[in-house]
Amino acid sequence: MPPLVTPLIQLEDVHFGYGERPVLEGVTLNIPKGKVTALMGASGGGKTTVLRLIGGQYRANSGRVWFDQTDIGACNREALYQARRRMGMLFQFGALFTDMSVFDNVAFPLREHTALPPGMVRDIVLMKLQAVGLRGARDLMPSQISGGMARRVALARAMVLDPELMMYDEPFAGLDPISLGTAARLIRQLNDTLGLTSIVVSHDLEETFHIADQVVILANGRIAAQGTPEQVRASSDPLVQQFVTAAPDGPVRFHYPATDAREDFGLTHSGGPQP
């Protein structure tokens, strides 16, 4: 699928693996500016790895990762940190500092990366909390709020520096239906209102397809499908169909490749125990 608009992120023939286990094999991908792109696929397919490559936590074994025409893999530490200040990251389950209040959690990036006076920090934090509906919870501790509220606090913290790119790693995991719907609407609304570019890694098919402009299915180290939610649903690829219909049988197997089970259980091929 051609880019909808100018890409903010570009992956060019990216190869990456953990030791001898390949994860990405020749992935080429454009993330268009101002849009919500969903990265989906079976567990272990490389979705979170893509986010880490964009953020510079990992370097590709080969190929290039571009962020707004900056080669992330070629950046020195100063250039990488400068690029990261333009990115926001919502981690799985929020990753709030448990010994800090809601207010201090959101204020943390401002205090670390800017020299703004306390009054301005306060105003910015309250505005971000207002955007996620939690201005009234500013004095509470993470232990005093629900999981869905914690995820919204983490979202306020992730966008407190006004990033151009927001990355969401499983933002709907563990949420009840009400909190899940609220989080999905927030991602879409904030993207459109603030002019962000968003990448959502998720296994929740219905909510993610509802808010995404572009869906990318990763499988076996490559892109299995890419397009609008409607185009991906209509794909005739058996692997994509297994994923979108949640079919138990198909190209994605339940068992990880292994030796003959009889060998592990000490049985001969004839069924009797080995001496």
CA–CA–CA angle 156, 9, 159 (5° rounding): 10
Token pair 């800017």 in the structure block, residue: 114
- Residue 255 has what pLDDT? 66
- Residue 168 has what pLDDT? 92
Q: What are phi and psi of 174, to 5 degrees?
A: 75, 10
147 CB contacts (<8 Å, ≥6 apart)?
A: 93, 94, 174, 175, 179
Q: What are phi and psi of 102, to 5 degrees?
A: -55, -45
Provide the token pair at 74: 């070629």
155 CB contacts (<8 Å, ≥6 apart)?
A: 90, 132, 171, 183, 186, 190
pLDDT digit string (tens) for the chain, length 275 residues: 444 467 899 999 999 988 878 899 999 999 999 999 999 987 777 888 999 999 999 999 999 999 998 999 999 999 999 899 899 888 876 788 999 999 999 999 999 888 999 999 999 999 999 988 899 999 999 999 988 888 889 989 998 998 999 999 888 887 788 888 888 888 998 899 888 999 999 888 888 999 999 999 988 888 988 999 999 888 888 878 877 777 666 666 666 677 787 888 877 655 555 55
pTM above 0.95, yes or no: no
Domain boundaries, the chain: 1-86+163-233, 96-162
Superfamily for the 1-86+163-233 domain: P-loop containing nucleotide triphosphate hydrolases (3.40.50.300)
Query: Which three-class secondary structure string do you get for 106-166?
Result: HHHHHHHHCCCCHHHHHHHHHHHHHHCCCHHHCCCCHHHCCHHHHHHHHHHHHCCCCCCEE
